[in-house]
Structure 1
Amino acid sequence: MSEPVRLDPRLEARAAALDGEDPLASYRSAFVDAPGVRAYLDGNSLGRPLLASRAALTDLVDHAWGTRLIRAWDEQWMESPTELGDTVGRVTLGAAAGQTVVADSTTVLLYKLTHAALDLRPGRTEVVLDRDNFPTDRFVLEGIAATRGLTLRWISPEHDGGVSAEQVAAVTGEQTALVLLSAIAYKSGELADVPAITRIAHRAGAVVLWDLCHAVGAVELSLDADQVDLAVGCTYKYLNGGPGAPAFGYVAARHHDALSQPIQGWMGAADPFAMDDAYAPASGIRRLVSGTPPVLAMVPMRAMLDLLDTVGMPAVRAKSRALTAFTVEVADELLASYDVRVATPRDPERRGSHVMLEHPDFRRVTAALWERGVIPDFRPPRGIRIGLSPLSTSFAEVAVGLTAIADELG
């Protein structure tokens, strides 16, 4: 490993003071420590594993799988998608039981829920989405639009912002079937006005599908209260489910009876073990399931959900705001002289839990940072995202990370 990162003593003292005052600081010890990593600033891409996840995986092998064998399906695993989905909904989504299921990947659930949304609005021909959304969202919608003969209505958000309610109002109308947006922009980190945009889409008679990948576990959500129709999100970022962890899908109860999805698998059937000749969907959210639940991959996120349940999302959100505010403050102090631009809203109420910094040399800088044990991520063409996972990221890590960026630019 290359030379250590040497902090300005005043910055080091400020970060230490903030860590000392942090009511959530003790929870950092719940996560596996990565030797040689001086600052992990990519929890918005892959969260650190918890020590409890290691123990839970071992316990599954030794007991439910190892001793109960096939009997464990009847005893617990068959209900895992909806049981764990209810936990995700209660702890992080503001969703009552029976509306959330854990299954598949984000891409597959986006595909399913997009088709479901379009079937809820037959005869309508337009879908609203934005050009800065994550590629998966755009690619899935482009493919479905091509096969179903739909028109895509594109929104182009501000470079350092997200989609506004006014922009949605300008492109929705009587032909709008679906509005697909992200609650937090994956580049800029801007937090969308979920309730306002949802109301505008509903006034046009459209269904709204929210991508919560960069929001769940980092900010407070109120899907039921905001009258959200559909939502999808991953669990390997702020829910710390690990690489390949399954996604979750949310469908408001008012849509369950009309819900159809295009991948009709046996696990979503009314009676999977009847082995019927024809498919009959299960009642409620269960019909969104297709294949065998990924039982092993569900285990790690349970530990993080337990932790979030203990701490509470209001406290997590408060820490997120504090971390992003400190990041912007230090970036202004250390990096502005190198023409680094903060490409994230400066109002903490409009930010999620990451901050985008931009500079034309950041591809090279990111590679150098990784060699020094400072781990952010690079987003083309010129962005470094400082990902701040509230329960595992310290203020000291932010100070180390931004100082290392300054070193590499200096």
Structure 2
Amino acid sequence: MKDLHVKEPIPPTRRIHKLVLTGGPCGGKTTGQARLATFFENLGWKVFRVPETATVLMSGGISFGELNEEQVLDFQEHLVVTMMALEETYFSMAEKCSQNVLIIADRGVMDASAFISRENWERILTKLNLEDIEISDNRYHQVVHMQSAALGAEKFYTTEDHAARFEGLELARERDRRAMDSWRDHPYVDIIDNRSDFDSKINKLIDVVVRRIGINIGDRFKANSRKVKFVVSSLPKDEEFPVKFTDFQVVHHYLHSAQRGFQTRLRKRVRNGRATYTFTVRKPQIQGQTVEVKQPISQRDYLNLLSHRDDAHLPVFKTRRCFLYQNQQYQLDMYKSPCHPRCKNLILLETFTTLDDQEIMASLPPFLRVKREVTGDPAFSMYNLSLRGDWQESVDQFCHRLSSDDESESDEVYDVKKAHERLTCLSESSDD
């Protein structure tokens, strides 16, 4: 609603945004959901994730491909009932939250219509006393369709990362088309295709959700936006920090990988005593593109995976502070003990920008004492910082070619002595 007497829109005091993530097989929903949750939690939102109901049911022994027509119809009916019951639980919890809430539904009720004929779908609606408009337009605020890798990114299509996925390329394309068609009448549908690389695809997902809600975060997700990193020597005390911030206690563990060229890590993130867990697999490059698959996991899975930690790396403990300054999102990583001496008192600032080097330095928050930009410097990569041994004694493990946010790997020899000198020089100046 417009108001001529107000220069800036006044947002509601509390928001609940109900989002459906849908799409064809191997479209990036799992990684997209994890990245969305992290982004909005950094903004101070509460995030609820409704699990994919079909996967929950099929994990109990149901194989969709083995069902006859009568069983398929019966399964879809119970799927709708179960899905709506699950969603209502999260909707109810959201209403009782004092924070802004993002609810991410891994597929929505209309997705069930993609697997049966229109006639059978109408029979289910009639039996359950439901109408299309109520379970589509009026139930969710936004639908985002993540296009299957089977359409335009065939080299990345796989069935390995999902226990309930079995579709070949042609069937995956058909499932993608049907999923898209099932939501054609919803007023707010965004389609994320495969014209860009995978990381850009995930960024576009976050961007369309942010824009639909109406959050201004500057140029964070513009096509030419790049990640930049700086060493910070000092920052104000918590009570004197001039903008609102959210602190998380974060622990990273690197794991042994069973496949050559793959890198795996765990992250535990705690806020107000509540922990979330993420498992990340970084795959080797395909056609010059590196793919990271992020998956939310349970505490039990986290503890089980910890037994596979790589003892060549120390666990990394940080306080991660997220804040907005002049519509730009920033992240401060403050390394904590226990840690390798190289990480003592280390503070790194990260953001995304389209500005050139001189412009970005001038636009950084003035309440932070920024020493120098270290974007792309392997001396400040978390992968290298976490190495247990001294860099000069473990040259073969030191990774000098950075191609992801936290880590990299290469077989080439690198001048680790100079890297150590750069790190030591800036770290010592941070103690001044």
**Do the two structures share a fold, i.e. TM-score over 0.5?**
no
More strand by share: 2
TM-score normalised to structure 2 length:
0.23
Which structure has the larger Rg over C-alpha atoms? 2
